[in-house]
Homo-oligomer: A and B are copies of this chain.
Amino acid sequence: MTEPAGSSGRPRVLIVGAGFGGLRAARVLRRAPVDLLLVDRNNYHLFQPLLYQVATAGLSPDQVAHPVRAIFRKQKNLEFRMVEVRGVDLKDRVLQTDREPLPYDFLILAMGARTDFFGLEDVARLGFGLKDVDDAVKIRNHVLRSLEEAMVEKDTARRRELLTFVVVGGGPTGVETAGALSELTRVVLRKDYPGLDPNLVRILLLEAADRPLAGMPEDLAEAAVHSLSRKQVEVRLGRQVEGYDGSRVRILGGEEIPARTLIWSAGVDAVELTRTIGTPIARQGRLAVEPSLQLAHHQEVYVIGDAAYLEVDGQPLPMMAPVAIQMGETAARNILRSLCNQNPLPLRYRNPGSLATIGRNSAVAYVHGLKFKGFVAWVVWLVVHLIQLIGFRNKIIVLVNWAWDYFFYERAVRLITPE
C-alpha cells in the first residue's frame, strides 16, 4: 500500500505544515542528502502577521499567501503535496492522509494552531476567528456588509449595533485588528458613507487581564492603550466574555454590549491532530517535546512551532512566528546531526522581542531589550514585515498598497464577495 520510504535510498524527511517553522526546516535541509516531502492542506504559505490587514480591506489574500511550489521551485530535494493529514502512526512511521499514507524516516510536525474559543460555542458560531484566509475574507465581507446595512437601517439602536465592532483579546493580533478597524471605519469609510453619523461607530477591545500585550513591558502596553484611545478604540480591561448571541456580547459580571460583529483573538490552541497522536499533551493542546524538540519516545519525530510545548526558563515558549522559525532551524539541524550519528542539541532560544502596530504612524516595539514607540516603532514594524514577506512582487504590491493607504486614506480591497 505505502510507497517505499526514500525510494532513492535516501532517508525521507516528512514535514507537516508549510507555516513559518516548516518552511525554515525545509530550507535548512536544502542541501542535505534526504528526500524531503512537505505537505499542507493548503497550496500556499500564509504570512499570518499581515492577515488582519486582509480582514480590514487593506490587502488582498494573494498578497499574504504565497504558493508553496513557487517558494521551493529551485529546491531539488523537496516535493510538495496538498493533502489533509488524518493521523500519525508512530509505530509504523506512517502519516495517514486523505490520500495514500506517507511513510517517513524523520517526521517534523509543524501543523500550527487554530482559534480557541474556550468552549464558548455561541462565540465560535456567531463570532469570527482570525487564523486563515477564509476567516479574514469573512470578516472583511461582514464588516463592509454591516456598513451597507447601517446605511439603510432606520432604527437608531439597530444602526448603532451594526456599527459596533468588538475585538476580544489584547494580544498583538487583537491590538492590530482593533486599530485597523478603527481606521477603516472612521477615516476611510466616512468618505464613502456620508449618510452615516460617525459618532455611532464604536470599536471596542476587550481583554480579560488588567493590561494588553502581555509579552511587552508595562509602559509599552500603556503606550499602546493610549494610542488606541486616540484612535477612538475603547479599550476595556478585566472584561471576560461569557457569551454572544449575534447582537449582544455578554461579559462576566452581567455587562452586555450590543454589537453585530465579534472578532475573537483571545486564544489559540494547537490543531486537533495533536490529540490523536497518543503522546502527552500539554497546555493549549500542544505536544510536550524534549529540549531537542523530539518526542520523548520517538526520537525520529520532531514537533515545532505552535504545535510544540517547551518551557524555557520556566516559561512556555509563546506561539509566534519567531519561535517557530528558530524551532524549525533546530529540528532540521538535529536531523542533520543524527544523519552523522551526532547527538541532537537543545533549542537555544533567543527572544527576538515583539512588535504591534496600532495603525498609521503608531506602533510599539520591544526588540533586544530596547523599547520603541510611536512613529519610530511604526517604521520598524513596516520594514520588518516588508522584509519578511515572501516574493519580491508581493513586497512591491504591498508597498504600493500601503503607500496609497497612507497618503490617500484609502483601502484597496473594499469588496463584499459571495461566500
Task: Say yes or no: B410 contacts A400, CB within 8 Å.
Answer: no
Q: CB-nearest residue of chain B relative to A83?
A: B152
- In the bound complex, do residue A73 and residue B134 qualify as a contact, i.e. CB atoms below 8 Å apart? no
Interface positions, chain A 271-320, Cβ under 8 Å from B, are: none
- Considering the chains assembled together, what is the distance between the CA atoms of A43 and B193 in angstroms? 13
Question: Are A133 and B418 in touch, CB under 8 angstroms?
Answer: yes
The complex places the Cα of A100 from the Cα of B153 at a distance, in Å, of 10
Determine how many copies of this chain the complex contains.
2
| Chain A interface size, under 10 / 10 to 19 / 20 to 34 / 35 or more | 35 or more
Partner of A193, one of B69, B83, B133, B134: B69
Cβ–Cβ < 8 Å partners of A79 in chain B: 195
A413 at the interface (CB under 8 A from B): yes
Identify whether the interface residues of A are mostly helix, strand, loop, or mixed. Answer: mixed
Complex partner residue of A417 from B81, B133, B410, CB under 8 angstroms: B133
Is A322 on the interface with B (CB-CB < 8 A)? no
Name the B residues within 8 Å of A90 (CB-CB). Answer: none
**A360 proximal to B (CB < 8 A):** no
**Is A151 at the interface (CB under 8 A from chain B)?**
yes
A410 to B392, CA, bound (A): 12
Q: Does A393 interact with chain B (Cβ within 8 Å)?
A: yes
Query: When each residue 391-419 of chain A gets 1 if its CB lies under 8 Å from chain B and 0 otherwise, what string results?
Result: 00100110011001000001011111110
Please choose the segment from A59-67, A241-249, A327-335 that sits at the chain B interface, where 4 or more of its residues have CB less than 8 A away: A59-67
When A60-B61, A62-B60, A69-B193 are in contact, do A148 and B82 touch as well, CB less than 8 Å? yes
Q: Does A350 contact B (CB under 8 A)?
A: no
Query: Is A366 on the interface with B (CB-CB < 8 A)?
Result: no
Candidates B145, B148, B410, B415; contact of A65 at CB < 8 Å:
B415
Name the B residues within 8 Å of A379 (CB-CB): none
Measured in the bound complex, the distance between the Cα atoms of B133 and A152 in whole Å is 25
User: How far does the alpha carbon of A38 sit from the alpha carbon of B144 in the complex, in Å?
Assistant: 18
Known: A62-B60, A62-B412, A412-B62. A417 touches B134 (CB 8 A): yes
A191 within 8 Å of B by Cβ? yes
Q: Is A210 an interface residue (CB 8 A)?
A: no
Interface: A192 (CB within 8 A): yes
Closest 8 CB pairs of A and B: A69-B192, A62-B413, A67-B414, A134-B418, A82-B148, A60-B62, A60-B60, A43-B416
Having A43-B414, A81-B152, one finds 8 other A-B pairs with CB under 8 Å, namely A43-B416, A44-B415, A62-B413, A62-B415, A67-B414, A73-B191, A133-B417, A393-B410
